[in-house]
Amino acid sequence: MLRTIFMIGLLALAGLFLLKIAFGILGGLFALLFWLIGMAIPVLLLGAFVYVLLRVFAPDTAKEMRDKFGGS
């Protein structure tokens, strides 16, 4: 019975150790993901701004771009 209690405690400590390692690695991946999202948002806004300018000042060019990159 004492052996069973020690084994459960040992497995719990090993699980906590593995969780700490896993979340330490995943923390870096989450930081990288949020950095990439932070870099992508200004690029998206700039592209949308340029597209709106094209729609206002050169509708034919905007239509050509929409047909070329629209996907359908």
Buried b (16+ CB within 10 A) or exposed e, 22-45: eeeeeeeeeeeeeeeeeeeeeeee
Give the pLDDT confidence score for residue 72 in this predicted structure.
64
Could you tell me the pTM of the whole model?
0.54
Instruction: Answer yes or no: is pLDDT of 28 > 80.
Output: yes
Mean pLDDT, rounded, for 48-55: 91
CA distance 52 to 62: 9
Q: What is the pLDDT of residues 9-26, one digit of tens each?
A: 999 999 999 988 888 888
Instruction: Answer yes or no: is pLDDT of 46 > 90.
Output: yes
Q: How many residues does the chain have?
A: 72
**What are the DSSP calls for 29-46, one per residue?**
HHHHHHHHHHHHHHHHHH
